[in-house]
């Protein structure tokens, strides 16, 4: 599986869209990593970038008193928990590429295309 950015993922905010696109790039690098040290490096970058991205989205939602703020925060926390589980698998040498494939599929199709798309007006102000 390849993680390729598609313009259908754009929500119209250049900064948020660029952050989303970078997640795709990091996930692709993880999948193609040939050494555990390389895998860990890209995973740490992915985790850090996603955490920063989520904080930025949450700040925008809070600033606009968006009614689904807490729901969105809960979604972000669930995804971060999922990444922690993947990290544990990497550290225990039980990681499988399908772990990140499932995460990325869920993040792209459920979070970006549904959750973030519902916030498009708020995020683009």
The parent domain of residue 109 ranges over 7-123
Please classify residue 33 by burial: count the beta carbons closer than 10 Å to its beta carbon, then call 0-12 exposed, 13-18 middle and 19+ buried. Answer: middle
pTM: 0.87
CATH number at residue 35: 1.20.120.50
- 85 assigned to some structural domain: yes
With 90 as the cut, is the pLDDT of residue 11 above it? Answer: no
Query: 47 vs 22, 34, 41, 62, CA distance in Å?
Result: 12, 19, 10, 22
Is residue 92 assigned to a domain? yes
CB atoms within 10 A of CB 20: 21
Q: What is the mean pLDDT of residues 7-19?
A: 89
C-alpha span between 38 and 123 (Å, rounded): 34
pLDDT at residue 1 greater than cutoff 70: no
In a domain, 2, yes or no: no
Does residue 96 fall inside a structural domain?
A: yes
Is 15 contained in some domain? yes
- Structural domains counted in the chain: 1
The pLDDT tens digits of the residues spanning 40-99 come to 999 999 999 999 999 999 998 898 888 889 999 999 999 999 999 999 999 999 988 888
Query: Is the pLDDT assigned to residue 2 strictly greater than 80?
Result: no
Q: What percent of the chain has pLDDT above 90? A: 47
Return the pLDDT at 105: 87
Q: What is the pLDDT of residue 125?
A: 62
Instruction: Tell the burial category of 16 from Cβ atoms under 10 Å away from its Cβ (0-12, 13-18, 19+).
Output: buried
Helix, strand, coil % over all residues of the chain, rounded to 5: 80, 0, 20
Mean pLDDT score of the chain: 89
Q: Is the pLDDT of residue 18 over 80?
A: yes
Dihedral (CA of 110, 111, 116, 118) sign: positive
Helix (H, G, I), strand (E, B) or coil at 94: coil
């Amino acid at each position: 599986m390849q993680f390729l950015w598609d313009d259908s993922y754009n929500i119209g905010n250049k900064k948020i869209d660029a952050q989303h696109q970078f997640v795709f790039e990091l996930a692709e690098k993880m999948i193609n990593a040939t050494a555990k040290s390389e895998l860990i490096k890209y995973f740490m970058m992915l985790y850090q970038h996603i955490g920063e991205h989520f904080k930025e989205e949450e700040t925008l939602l809070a600033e606009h008193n968006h009614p689904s703020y807490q729901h969105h925060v809960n979604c972000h926390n669930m995804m971060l928990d999922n990444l922690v589980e993947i990290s544990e698998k990497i550290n225990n040498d039980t990681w499988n590429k399908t772990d990140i494939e499932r995460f990325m599929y869920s993040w792209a199709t459920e979070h970006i295309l549904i959750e973030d798309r519902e916030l498009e007006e708020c995020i683009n102000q």
